[in-house]
Amino acid sequence: MNALRPSTLSDSLYGRVSRVIPPFEWPSFEADIAAILRLKAERNAIILAHNYQSPEIFHCVADVVGDSLALAREAANGDARVIVMAGVHFMAETAKLLNPSKTVLIPDPQAGCSLAESITPDDIGLLRQAYPGVPVVTYVNTSAAVKAASDICCTSANAKKVVESLGAPRVIMIPDEYLARNVAAQTEVEVIAWRGRCEVHEQFTAADIRELREAHPGAIVLAHPECAPEVVAAADFAGSTADMIKYVGARRPARVALVTECSMSDNVAVHYPDLEFVRPCGLCPHMKRITLGKIRHALETLEGEVTIDPIVAGPARRAVERMLAL
């Protein structure tokens, strides 16, 4: 394969993101991007980027993009020795659970999540005491230790299916209260919720949606199910980040609002220059801890390796794999 000259490579990469990154910002990214592309080849590494990552990461250095589960699954298919997770810590742990023999790096180990931090394995023990025999369904946005204390995992895309797969009249669904309430509204199964919230999605209100519709007539509103039930009810469609992307691709609404993290609209807009994206978004401070500079540093030093105690990894992997088997 002919290697591209640096300037040609940079021009071609900038062409991908010129709609969402102004020309004056681009030079500040070029050196890190060139170094990361070289280091990936040297290290036999791949970069997984969540849909909430900034466009210069998502479109210019990532090998696999998607939601947390799609990222972990895809990583398991390749022959890379090193996986860099451009996402938050629980996503890196899930990637490690599904790829135990690979080196998994998180460029900033402080990249957390308000949902993952809202619950501990001891809390699950207390819930099991309070509701004996009731199965525990755990959202993937949790630590490996919490997954290990659970019966099965779910994502926002498959939560209803997972809840109903257990054949139980009631389930405990942790940690996202709003996701649990949104699922409860769609199923006969009684859902016992925890009090965790996503600090980004809990900010949106039904009044925000009304104002958005007034300001942008005809906009189709897509909301993430981590939003409050009244926000979901006010939207035209609710679904995971992957479901939102599918919706936009299939229906191509002329004017669309993605009620979720800010970078998601930028990343999707790159593919649909003919659609107007209204941006009623919130920034996730944890996702934004990941930068090109930190990815480069992780690849240079192999610092930030994610390890999971084998006592935790076994049951946590079983909870994830039980979901994948559905």
Residues interacting with ligand SF4, by CB under 6 A? 88, 113-115, 141, 198-200, 261, 284, 286-287
User: Which CB, 212 or 227, lies closer to ligand SF4?
Assistant: 227
Whether 266 contacts 2, CB under 8 Å: no
Minimum Å gap between C-beta 81 and ligand SF4 is: 27
Whether 278 contacts 257, CB under 8 Å: yes
Write down the residue that tokens 């925000």 correspond to.
Answer: 208
Minimum Å gap between C-beta 133 and ligand SF4 is: 29
Whether 83 contacts 75, CB under 8 Å: yes
Minimum Å gap between C-beta 191 and ligand SF4 is: 19
CA distance linking residue 67 with residue 81, whole number of Å: 21
Minimum Å gap between C-beta 168 and ligand SF4 is: 26
User: Which CB, 195 or 210, lies closer to ligand SF4?
Assistant: 195
CA distance linking residue 174 with residue 118, whole number of Å: 9
Minimum Å gap between C-beta 241 and ligand SF4 is: 9
Whether 94 contacts 320, CB under 8 Å: yes
User: Which CB, 48 or 88, lies closer to ligand SF4?
Assistant: 88
Minimum Å gap between C-beta 55 and ligand SF4 is: 17
User: Which CB, 53 or 99, lies closer to ligand SF4?
Assistant: 53
User: Which CB, 108 or 261, lies closer to ligand SF4?
Assistant: 261
User: Which CB, 92 or 136, lies closer to ligand SF4?
Assistant: 92
User: Which CB, 56 or 261, lies closer to ligand SF4?
Assistant: 261
Minimum Å gap between C-beta 39 and ligand SF4 is: 26
What separation, in Å, do the N-terminal and C-terminal C-alpha atoms of the chain show? 41
Beta bridge partners of 49: 65, 86
User: Which CB, 39 or 119, lies closer to ligand SF4?
Assistant: 119
Minimum Å gap between C-beta 277 and ligand SF4 is: 18
